[in-house]
Structure 1
Amino acid sequence: MATISLPANVSVMLLDIEGTTTPITFVKDILFSYIKEHIEDYLSTHWEEDECKQDVQLLKKQTEQDIREHRACPVHSPDQTVHTDEEKAIREVVDNVLWQMAADRKTTALKQLQGHMWRTAYTSGKIKGEVYQDVVPAIRRWRQQGLKVYIYSSGSVEAQKLLFGYSVEGDLLELFDGHFDTNMGLKVESKSYQRIAERIGCPPEDILFLTDVTREAKAAVEVGMNVVVVVRPGNAELAEEERSHYSLISSFSQLQATGSA
């Protein structure tokens, strides 16, 4: 894949995380596995704390919305074991979280709880955020060239800050001008990118979005953003039509500002 020159008007880099700055295997094999293995213990330990209560309340509201919209929800079969009300409530939350994860849902309620669980894992040193080796040098170069750098991920803002704040390369948060999550909207919806441009305070045409998902790329293009699709090991295979339609890179080092060597 050839080097790509940034459009001269681009002043903002907007980066996806999974499959773009960070291996998909880290998200699926490390982060998601941690949730599945520790969700019940975490809820039991923190059940009476305000933060946990807020997370559970948000999940309940999401379930109520799912029911109103006739979306499938976990079915609770009769359990012969005698549980306390708290144990039963925790079990229902666990079932809901695992069901949402199996369905690869991006609800704010799910992402908020996951972010709080990952905070425990990161701060205790059980997990360190992974980034591709080409990411940090490229971002430092972009910033030296006067570009602003933002993150847009379906993971909560808190989860994003944990990944980069407790990374294998140390605290990287100073490299970013801001973070966006599903509070802006789903990543496959064009209006989400319009909101982000408005929040940053520049026209979409001045932003370059890097993602590994062509549905996200399409949504960003629809509002006028520039897009480059990132091809990394383990990412979903692109169809020939997608490969010919989008500019592709396999490393951030292939992106050069206009006039740079």
Structure 2
Amino acid sequence: MTDPSKLPYAAVLLDIEGTTTPISFVHEVLFPYVQNHARAFIEARWDDPACRPYLTNLQAQSEADQHQGLQDIPRVADLDDATLPTSTKINSLVANLEYQICHDRKIKALKDFQGYMWEVGYRSGELKSIVYPDVVDALKQWKSLGKPVYIYSSGSVPAQKLIFAYSDQGDLTPYLAGYYDTAVGSKLATASYRTIQQTTGVPAKEFLFISDNVKEIDAARAAGFPTAVAQRPGNAPLPATVAADPIYTVISDFHALLD
């Protein structure tokens, strides 16, 4: 295993879940928030023009799923069918959302709707995200050293911004230079990291990527990034081969990377 202090880097790319933020926050707070409040949320905003595009996108995704033969996913009713009761449409949306959340689908329509609900929750004070204190220390030092920090998560960019704007450590967005989601590609695809490198202009060999997911780490390494595997409380145990392999750097907190 490589010594974290020996990693050279001029910029940082961070995963969120299991890296900057406990996995439990996502699975025990954010996901249940949508599941528990989706029905009341949709009912209250059924005629709200701001909400309608999110519901329409869920219907479009449902139709695409049906065309692909994914019959197990509850189908969203035709939201424009005037003959259907509103309750039927809402019931279908809620059932569809519950299935997608339970199966942790990485689908844009779902991520966008979740982000919309979370924004309302954050702004109302119902939600506050958790960011590890050592992450804050690192963000502050990297900012002072002129090392830009970017986020790359499967959650939508708006949802990422909310996590760092409404954290238990305060508003951390001033420490972040940019955000990326799966619009640039899968986090398991090497091409995604090359795209991020090209758009930021940071040389790959100087662009440190930190994630709890070894498959993501491998994809970034293949793109030439130095990497560190985050092993946080509650994360899945790392394979013994990873801990023993000198090509991997494993950290339990970000202090190991600081000067």
Structure 2 residue 88 is matched with structure 1 residue 88: yes
Once residues 68 and 191 of structure 2 are traced to their aligned partners in structure 1, the CA distance between those partners, rounded to angstroms, is 22
Once residues 90 and 115 of structure 1 are traced to their aligned partners in structure 2, the CA distance between those partners, rounded to angstroms, is 19
> What residue number does 1:134 align with?
134
Asked whether the equivalents of residues 212 and 235 of structure 1 are also in contact (C-alpha less than 8 Å), the reply is: yes
In the alignment, residue 36 of structure 1 is paired with which amino acid?
A: Q
Asked whether the equivalents of residues 63 and 73 of structure 1 are also in contact (C-alpha less than 8 Å), the reply is: no
In the alignment, residue 67 of structure 1 is paired with which amino acid?
A: Q
Asked whether the equivalents of residues 67 and 73 of structure 1 are also in contact (C-alpha less than 8 Å), the reply is: no
> What residue number does 2:65 align with?
66
Deviation (angstroms), 1:6 = 5.2
Asked whether the equivalents of residues 217 and 227 of structure 1 are also in contact (C-alpha less than 8 Å), the reply is: yes
1:214-257 Cα deviation digits (max 9, x unpaired): 1111111121111110000000111111222321000100003x
> What residue number does 1:57 align with?
56
Spell out the pairing of 1:92-107 with structure 2 (5 A cutoff). 92-107=92-107
Gaps of 5+ in 2: 76-82
Single out whichever of 143-152 and 64-73 deviates more from structure 2. Answer: 64-73
Q: Percent identity?
A: 40
Runs ≥4 residues deviating over 3 A: none
In the alignment, residue 174 of structure 2 is paired with which amino acid?
A: E
In the alignment, residue 128 of structure 1 is paired with which amino acid?
A: K
> What residue number does 2:151 align with?
151
Gaps of 5+ in 1: 77-82
Once residues 154 and 234 of structure 2 are traced to their aligned partners in structure 1, the CA distance between those partners, rounded to angstroms, is 19
Q: 1:97 to 1:49 in 2, by over 3 A?
A: same
> What residue number does 1:37 align with?
36
Asked whether the equivalents of residues 3 and 249 of structure 2 are also in contact (C-alpha less than 8 Å), the reply is: no
Q: 1:167 to 1:203 in 2, by over 3 A?
A: same
Q: Root-mean-square deviation (CA), in Å? A: 1.9
Number of matched pairs: 250
Spell out the pairing of 1:167-186 with structure 2 (5 A cutoff). 167-186=167-186
Asked whether the equivalents of residues 74 and 92 of structure 2 are also in contact (C-alpha less than 8 Å), the reply is: no
> What residue number does 2:124 align with?
124
Once residues 208 and 186 of structure 2 are traced to their aligned partners in structure 1, the CA distance between those partners, rounded to angstroms, is 18
Q: 1:206 to 1:225 in 2, by over 3 A?
A: same
Q: 1:75 to 1:64 in 2, by over 3 A?
A: closer
> What residue number does 2:78 align with?
none
Deviation (angstroms), 1:84 = 5.1
Q: TM-score, normalised by structure 2?
A: 0.90
In the alignment, residue 248 of structure 1 is paired with which amino acid?
A: V
> What residue number does 2:45 align with?
46
> What residue number does 2:222 align with?
222
Asked whether the equivalents of residues 3 and 255 of structure 1 are also in contact (C-alpha less than 8 Å), the reply is: no
Q: 1:191 to 1:55 in 2, by over 3 A?
A: same
